[in-house]
Copies of this chain bind each other. A is one copy, B any other.
Amino acid sequence: MLTMRIRATRPTVHALQPSLIRKVANTAIGRSDIIPLWFGEPDRPTPRFIRDAAKDAIDEGQTFYQPNLGIVELRQALATYTNKLYSTELSADNIAVTPSGMTALSVALQCVVSQGDTLVIVSPVWPNLPSAAEILGARIKRVSIKAVDNQWRLDLDELFDACDNKTGAIMVNSPNNPTGWMLEDDEQRRILEFCRERNIWLIADEVYNRIVYDRLCAPSFIDKVTEEDKYLIINSFSKSWAMTGWRLGWITAPRSLLSSIEMVAEYNFSSIFAPTQIAGITALQEGEAFICASIERYRAALNALTAAFAQLPRVTFPQPRATFYAFFEVDGVSDSFAFAVDVLNKTGVGLAPGAAFGPNGEGYLRLCYAADVALLGRALDQMTPLLN
């Protein structure tokens, strides 16, 4: 009998590679003794008051279709929340709600990226950011941040030199997953000015803007752009309010782009569960104390990690200024995937290999420290023989 080998027939899909993080995690399926620090997720469930808001909406029977751009109360609440944080003057007409930060990114890219466009992206970076563009037929050019004197830094001239007349957009994720690097206001102003001069899009992933250690919120492009700029800013409820599983994100964009976003939304997901959106309103309006408490918890974990890594001469750990990731280099490791598998097999600790975040992440490992200090201590104890 003749058996066809069925596969995706779209070339850009066929070319996609499965996540290296997922590949490491898959080797542990069936093991119950793992300390999983590989995924980017707070270790505690969503706060009770947010969950209760969703339950109330379910009780009320809010189970019908909703508008593609999100319910207006949530769009308004997002504008109000942002305006308070950044002294901006956004309206609900600048906001499109999406069923995850990932979908926000996918929808944003569908609006502006054409087959053959080149996107310049600051790297290492969360792998979905370049892949979501590649699936649309875009080419990716990476510009590396570099660890200098225990701090990650971007050379802006290097970023600008990487852009040519085929560049359709600059993509930047600040605060950055996996490094904890963060753009300052003056750097953002220079990037925005460059995008204006070249008439190219600025796509900013700012989902970690509240997971920051030296101020209330990270610098954002949002208080620098105008209605005339070509910008798309991605955010999500996942990290700030421990809502990873809910799948709720949003796009901030010039008002004139919203009708395009609305149509792309229609053909991608067609609205979001109302109780999830109402949970989002509650998070925005009553969630500041939770964010403060989370930051103090992550800070304690970061301090403990920093002290422990300082005792390990093979480990170089440039300090993150934001996010809940430790991205550290281990001297002698040239294959981070093989090393992560080795750590997993020998110590039971799940780490993400640096190579998952781009070629310039090779030699590094990522550890998510949104976890109890005691658990992190146990993970470090178990890993020490391999890191020493």
Contacts and interface: CB of A to CB of B under 8 A. Distances in A.
A8 B58 contact: no
A266 interface: yes
A254 B6 CA distance: 8
Given A228-B3, A244-B65, A246-B63, A128 B8 contact: no
The majority secondary structure among interface residues of chain A is loop
Given A14-B260, A39-B65, A99-B99, 4 more contacts: A6-B230, A51-B59, A115-B115, A128-B267
B267 A106 contact: yes
A272 B246 CA distance: 7
Interface string A234-254: 000000001111110000001
A362 interface: no
A9 B63 contact: no
A269 B39 contact: no
Contacts of A10: 110-114
Interface string A278-297: 00000000000000000000
A356 to B, nearest CB: 13
Contacts of A137: 115
A128 B65 contact: no
Given A4-B228, A111-B8, A245-B65, A273 B270 contact: no
A244 B63 contact: yes
Nearest to A42: B64
Contacts of A276: 273
A-B pairs, 3 with minimum CB distance? A45-B61, A8-B260, A46-B63
Interface centre among A14, A137, A244 (most CB of B within 10 A): A244
Interface residues of A, number: 75
A11 interface: yes
Interface in A46-82: 46, 51, 54-55, 58-59, 61-66
A100 B270 CA distance: 8
24 contacts: A7-B257, A7-B260, A8-B260, A9-B111, A9-B168, A16-B267, A45-B64, A51-B61, A51-B63, A55-B58, A55-B59, A63-B242, A63-B246, A99-B99, A99-B247, A100-B269, A100-B270, A103-B269, A131-B266, A135-B267, A246-B273, A247-B271, A247-B272, A269-B269
A105 to B, nearest CB: 9
Nearest to A55: B55
Given A257-B8, A269-B269, A273-B276, A13 B110 contact: yes
A274 interface: yes
Contact of A51 (B51, B58, B262): B58
Given A6-B254, A64-B244, A276-B273, A264 B110 contact: no
A102 interface: yes
Contacts of A7: 256-257, 260
Contacts of A18: 259, 262-263
